[in-house]
């Protein structure tokens, strides 16, 4: 698993380095803000891809005495850093685009290479986005998912820049390049919000979506379980940690309770990959129930 994640992350870095250098060279050569903004976007994506490569190397290390829940959150921290890098991109793009629109200083030399770099970028970004997304879903990797979103964002922003170049060259619409750059910034802002929110939710231990429903549906299948409470769940990278209390008939033997708990764990883990389930078994007794209800009211 780690080998596949490292391989796709490394290819992502190589692709980002190539695309950034190509766009920067053509952007400077032609003076196109759209292409230069794409170069900066890709440059930050290159840094993000390097961070992703580092994070996937670290995130799957097993838990140790200092990191009892593993190193998975390094992927979510990586995704948050990528979000901040994207926001920096937006500030520069928006500032430069507004300056050009307000001053009218728009001098671009559109050449064949302008189209080659943008179209090549779209093709490479499409290929890398699909590969990263496939591996991210397969291994539940937040870092690779963030990298995939970066490349998919580049596809849309490069398409916008392509239309801007066409409008500038063939329609004489000189503001098209700057407006295209602003559209890139809007796209980047939207993706940044999505990535940042998801990364912060995990770093703040927000309960993963549908976990409560999955646990409830699993417990219903075991008639020995009379009640459950205290359900807590959180994620760290690709791992999900779940804990809850269950009530059993006090007449059941310790062996019987243990066997049921093992089956419950297996049932939940079959639906939530890479999950660790902690179950605290309690007897269903009147005084115990009253105590639990009183604790919940506090």
User: HSE of 61 in the Cβ direction (CA atoms, 13 Å)?
Assistant: 15
What are the helix (H) ranges across 204-275?
211-220, 254-271
H-run or E-run covering 239: strand 239-248
Cα separation, 151 vs 133, in Å, equals 10
H-run or E-run covering 240: strand 239-248
- The reported pLDDT for the residue numbered 213 is 87
CB atoms within 10 A of CB 173: 13
- The reported pLDDT for the residue numbered 262 is 93
For 52-63, give the DSSP string.
Answer: HHHHHHHHTSPP
- The reported pLDDT for the residue numbered 106 is 58
Q: What is the pTM of this model?
A: 0.61
- The reported pLDDT for the residue numbered 266 is 92
Query: pLDDT tens digits, the chain, 298 residues: what are they?
Result: 556 767 777 777 888 788 788 888 887 877 776 677 777 767 777 777 777 777 777 766 777 777 767 667 777 787 787 778 778 777 877 887 787 778 765 556 677 877 888 888 888 888 878 887 887 777 666 667 777 776 777 777 777 778 777 887 787 777 776 777 787 778 778 777 877 888 888 888 888 878 888 998 899 889 898 888 889 998 877 788 999 999 999 889 999 999 999 999 999 998 887 888 999 998 887 655 554 543 332 3
Confirm if 237 and 141 have CB atoms less than 8 A apart.
Answer: yes
Cα separation, 68 vs 63, in Å, equals 5
What are the helix (H) ranges across the chain?
2-30, 33-59, 73-103, 112-139, 142-170, 176-203, 211-220, 254-271, 286-297
- The reported pLDDT for the residue numbered 88 is 77
CATH of domain 2-203: 1.20.1510.10
Confirm if 162 and 46 have CB atoms less than 8 A apart.
Answer: no
- The reported pLDDT for the residue numbered 263 is 93
Residue 209's contacts (CB-CB under 8 Å, 6 or more residues apart) are: none
- The reported pLDDT for the residue numbered 105 is 58
Class of domain 211-297: alpha beta
Residue spans per domain, the chain: 2-203, 211-297
Distance of CA 224 to the CA centre of its chain: 39
- The reported pLDDT for the residue numbered 65 is 74
- The reported pLDDT for the residue numbered 298 is 31
Identical fold at 2-203 and 211-297? Answer: no
Cα separation, 192 vs 190, in Å, equals 5
């Amino acid at each position: 698993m780690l080998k596949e994640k490292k391989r796709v992350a490394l290819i992502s870095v190589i692709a980002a380095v190539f695309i950034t250098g190509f766009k920067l060279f053509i952007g400077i050569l032609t003076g196109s803000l759209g292409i230069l903004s794409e170069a900066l976007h890709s440059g930050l994506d290159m840094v993000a891809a390097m961070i992703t490569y580092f994070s996937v190397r670290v995130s799957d290390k097993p838990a140790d005495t200092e990191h009892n829940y593993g190193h998975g959150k390094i992927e979510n921290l990586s995704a948050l850093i990528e979000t901040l890098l994207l926001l920096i991109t937006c500030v520069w793009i928006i500032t430069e685009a507004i300056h050009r629109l307000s001053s009218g200083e728009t001098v671009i030399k559109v050449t064949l290479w302008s189209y080659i770099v943008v179209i090549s970028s779209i093709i490479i970004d499409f290929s890398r986005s699909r590969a990263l997304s496939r591996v991210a879903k397969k291994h539940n990797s937040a870092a690779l998912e963030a990298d995939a979103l970066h490349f998919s964002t580049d596809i849309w922003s490069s398409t916008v820049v392509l239309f801007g170049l066409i409008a500038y060259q063939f329609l004489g619409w000189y503001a098209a390049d700057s407006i295209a750059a602003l559209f890139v910034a809007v796209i980047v802002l939207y993706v940044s919000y999505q990535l940042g929110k998801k990364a912060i939710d995990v770093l703040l231990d927000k309960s993963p979506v549908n976990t409560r429903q999955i646990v409830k549906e699993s417990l219903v299948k075991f008639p020995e379980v009379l009640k459950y409470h205290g359900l807590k769940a959180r994620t760290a990278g690709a791992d999900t940690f779940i804990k809850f209390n269950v009530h059993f008939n006090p007449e059941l033997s310790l062996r019987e309770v243990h066997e049921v708990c093992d089956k419950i764990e297996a049932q939940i883990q079959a639906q939530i990959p890479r999950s660790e389930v902690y179950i605290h078994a309690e007897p269903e007794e009147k005084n115990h129930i009253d105590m639990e209800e009183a604790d919940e009211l506090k």
